[in-house]
Structure 1
Amino acid sequence: ATRLRDFSSLYDVVKNERNKYVTSIQRAAQSLAESKERINILQNEIDILRNEVLQKDKILNKEHLEHTAAYNQRDTLRAEVNKCIAVYKDKQSNIDQQIAEISKLNTIINNIEKAMLKLKKEYEVAVEDRNYTGIQLIDRNDELCILYEKSNIQEEILKQGEIEYRRREEEIRMLKLRQVDLRRDVEATRKLQPKVPELQDEVERLMQEVEKERDLASNLSQALEDPSNEKRWRKLGGKDPDSEECGAKIRELDARLDDKKEQLLEKELILEEVTALSDRLRLQAAEGRMDTLELAKKVNDFQAKIKTVTRKMMATVSELSMYQALAMKLQQEKHEGELILEDARWRLDNDQPPTDDAEKEWFRMENEKLRAVEDRAYRLQRAAMSEVSGQPPQRTAAEQRPNAYIPDELGLPRPYGAHAPFKPTEIGSTMRHIRKPQPQTVVI
């Protein structure tokens, strides 16, 4: 029994020690878990601080780059302002040169206008001479037409005279033939002299018949002249003029005949003069045709010269209008450039960008520079990761996981290698519904 109590007491002692050691083991395990969790938390904080340091370094580098870019932009803007001033001076010199050219062109245009006025006056004089010559030519043509008509009338009269002359010659020829026939009849009659008594009897018989016919005609005339024979006469109206009226009428007819003779003589004289004038004018017209042809050629030459000068003048006026439009456009560009330059100077004096486009361009250039810096840093980081992991870099949008840890011995980051641990997920809002596990005492 005593031995049993001893074993029982020893068992209780061993049991208590075992429980104490189990409790110590549990406490050590719990403290180890807490230490590991604390180490993980510290590691995460270190990573966060490292990331913050990297972000701050990036921000600092970015600010340095922005500062450098601002200096560069300032230098660029100064260079652009100097360039704008140089361009303005060049444009001003071009404008002065174009103004001088415009003055020169105005002088040329004035000279051309004077020459045009002179040519216009000469043209007007030539037109007046041409019109006067044309009027004279028309008058001479009218006179020539009248003379041609008179000449045609005279030629017609001459033709009629020639026809009458031929007819008279034909009558003379016929009379000559009649004379020959009569002579031949006379000769034949002379040959018939033995028949003269018979012919005398025939003549007496014919004379008697003639006397009878004369008596008959006398009786008929008496019967016609007999006023008692109402069938042989009829009464005519009017009255017979007396001797004084007949004498007055005869004198009037003689006066009219004398007038007609005088008119005939005058017309013959006029005809002779007109014939002489027509011959002279025909010669003058034949000679004046060459002068008219030369004058027409000169008029055509003057008209061609006037047309050529007019075309040149229109071309010069067109060029002048083009230069004037160009000068106005350049003047407007100059005015706009001056306004832009004044606005840029005022903006620079008030610490503002010279133009809205310059500000946008500056922001665009800065964004491009920042993007280039970020791309360069990202490429360097990806290259370092690929060197550490031994795998080619892959483009991803996921959050970067830690690929190294800092041991306690050296304090320098050491890469995990091919078997890197997973990054713990962030504690969500649902963790408040989960209780922390309480360690339970192990009873053996």
Structure 2
Amino acid sequence: MSADPLAEFRRAVSVRARQHPRQWEASKKLVENAAFPSTIVRLYDTVQHHDLPASVKDILLRLFERPMPRHVQDLDGKSLKSVTGFPPAKAVRALAVFFGLVPVAGSRWSVPHLSSEEIEEAVRKLDNPFDLLRHIDVASVLEIGAGDLSFAEELADLYGAELKQQHRPFIIHCLDRLDPRSQLGGPLHASPERLQRLQRKEGLCFSFFGNQDMFELGRLDEQALLAPRYAVATCWAPATPTFAYEPTRLSKALIRTELERTKGAFHHTCFGKEQALEVRHAGRALLFPPWKFEIVGPLALLSLLASRGCLCVLGSVDAQVFWELLAQLLEQPHYRPPDQPFNPVNLSKIFGEVYHVLANLPIGESIDLADVAALRRHYLQSDSSTDGDAGHFRYVRISRGATFPGTPASSTARKFASMTEEVPPWLVTLVPAYTSGPSSVLDTTS
């Protein structure tokens, strides 16, 4: 870096703005009256978390610190020009481009502009987390493991008309690993009628990607078929055993032993022209898709959701997946004992007071997990991570039950009411502590 950090930073900001003309043009929206306060919050948060020369960082933090400017006219134009070389409005736009707050050039999809702090503040006031769609600037949802699309249809029916009346686009993108052409999977397939209703619904931008591994999204991203980030990323009835065992604490050998003990002997076979998994259970041979027993674990699911959503919601989470997932959310390592599967006998010993508080949570009630135990920090990772990915969750709310008044739910969740022998499931609402911007703010070559 040159002897004058301010001059070098001005040059870097100018170069990045010139290199990304489409982002520069799109940045105009960030200084409009409605978006400006949120833009300043995001800039302040980004500057705080990035390694900048002290002289640059001090000026920017003073410019954007509380009480935060509400309009461009509130900014100190002289200071802004000293650090960016631009007059106020263009300076804010240039900084937004530089720190990666504008959707990547070529992206078809708008992304929400609210900071994670603003998302948390909004969600804390909402009994129904999906009501965030009524308040956020971009109403978009990514559903992972969408199955029969029952949740997507409930979501579209609940919010579609209101958003259409407000002339706001409503984006719902759904992924599912099950191949729509497969003879396996039974009721987990979406009916052609439901798929057509969603595709034809006026005011709804709907896409369904079947036969799609949720952890292999590169092809869809390359074709700009998915948004970089959605208002809400959600997963209903996370699959067992896929997310019921965490590979970072349980060995492959132990997991296989547990699967054989609880599910039965299994092997790969063929069903017609398809690959399949045959499981011998209670004297019967059951057939599943070949990947049914591929163990990914809840940590990978949490990382994926955090990288894609401003808000993450896991619905109808069964007991086995829930406790394994909960262990990943809590700070103390004793909640994650190595090679010790969770079971009804040892849960109370391992989780202690956390177990007793949550096990006694009445149906329909919720609790802030941070009020029960410290939340884990800096543990989320993603093989396809992008700038701004969260390292942890800043807010986690645990709710007991399958369905909640006024809240959309999947068909699996709706069925729990008639499953009298099943342990009531859980709804987990999470706000990832995402930030925006390049990992090295002075790298102007990309």
TM class, shorter-length: under 0.3
- TM-score normalised according to structure 2 size: 0.15
Give the TM-score, by structure 1 length: 0.15
Name whichever structure is richer in helix by fraction: 1
- Give the strand-richer structure, 1 or 2: 2
Structure whose CA Rg is larger: 1
